[in-house]
Amino acid sequence: GAGVSQSPSNKVTEKGKDVELRCDPISGHTALYWYRQSLGQGLEFLIYFQGNSAPDKSGLPSDRFSAERTGGSVSTLTIQRTQQEDSAVYLCASSLANEYEQYFGPGTRLTVT
């Protein structure tokens, strides 16, 4: 079946602009995660959605970052007023409820110029 998909695969934006990154999880997966992979910080957790529960936003680095998940499926990560330090690969993962294995998408490479 289809895996986790993310779009766009690459995004170049100017400093100060807003960007939206999209994640389509595997059908039926109720848990959805966003991570960021950067040279300086490695792989770090950003936010976690599980069903209808309030999301765990403990990893978001600043209030410029937000995410939503509509209808328990597709998720959008929004970064407002982008900064150069936001340049990274943003990874989305999904899993079944209470399952350990997370399935990762290919990522969106964000470059802020």
Partner 1 sequence: GDSVTQMEGPVTLSEEAFLTINCTYTATGYPSLFWYVQYPGEGLQLLLKATKADDKGSNKGFEATYRKETTSFHLEKGSVQVSDSAVYFCALSPPRTAGNKLTFGGGTRVLVKP
Which parts of this chain interact with partner 1 (CB under 8 A)?
A: 4, 31, 33, 35, 42-45, 48, 50, 56, 59, 91, 93, 95, 98-107
| d(C-alpha 64, C-alpha 60), whole Å | 9
Residue 77 or residue 82: which is nearer to partner 1 going by CB? Answer: 77
User: How is residue 53 annotated by DSSP?
Assistant: S
| Per-residue tokens: 77 | 């990560």
Owner of token pair 């289809």: 2
Residue 60 or residue 82: which is nearer to partner 1 going by CB? Answer: 60
Cβ 71 to partner 1, closest distance in Å? 21
